[in-house]
Amino acid sequence: MEKYREIEKFRYLILAAQRQGNKILMELLREIGVTPSQAEVIRILAEKEFLTLKELGQLLICEDGSPSRLVERMVKEGLIRREKDKNDARFIRMTLSPLGKEKHLLITKAEEQMYRKMTQLYTTKEIELANRVLSKLLLDTKFEYKFEQRGFSLHHNHDRN
């Protein structure tokens, strides 16, 4: 296993960085009263209103599969409203409630705080390099589609060395 020591370290660095980033975000969101998963749903619905549950699930990175339990909890908390599709009553579409819209503004500010902290740690070139390195891992996966649908390309003229 010695020959894989660096890649093993890389794997654990990805895991630890994700956990640390989530911890920082959770602390910022605690005052707002939402979880990181709820914040992601709110951000998506603020950008793309009137999504079906399936459409939302195709965009979420925080959840695998159907986000039905997450959405149900958010409806009960008054963050999301469900509405029948105006063109096809078989479909239920989701939109932010007035409370969800208020939370969106606070979430955006919390995320900006987190991003400011990160720009103090990393240069733009370091962020771009990390994005290129991590993007390679996600090419040709379900995450590539999710990123593209959210306006992020994972293609950076990767060299295949």
Q: What is the pLDDT of residues 52-66, one digit of tens each?
A: 999 999 999 987 777
The pTM for the full model equals: 0.88
Kindly state the helix (H) or strand (E) to which residue 84 belongs, with its residue range. strand 80-84
**Residue (of 79, 83, 131) closest to 107 by Cα position:** 79
Res 105: pLDDT: 98
Whether 25 is in a domain gets the answer: yes
Structural domain boundaries enclosing 99: 2-121
Cα separation, 145 vs 156, in Å, equals 15
Whether 27 is in a domain gets the answer: yes
Q: What's phi and psi for 134, nearest 5 deg? A: -70, -30
Whether 127 is in a domain gets the answer: no
Whether 110 is in a domain gets the answer: yes
Whether 59 is in a domain gets the answer: yes
- The CATH number of whichever domain residue 41 belongs to comes to 1.10.10.10
| Segments of 10-161 assigned E as strands | 80-84, 92-96
Q: Residue 157 — very low, low, confident or very high, per pLDDT cuts 50/70/90?
A: low
Examine the pLDDT at 30 and tell me if it is beyond 60: yes
Kindly state the helix (H) or strand (E) to which residue 99 belongs, with its residue range. helix 98-121
Total of domains in the chain: 1
Cα separation, 58 vs 145, in Å, equals 8
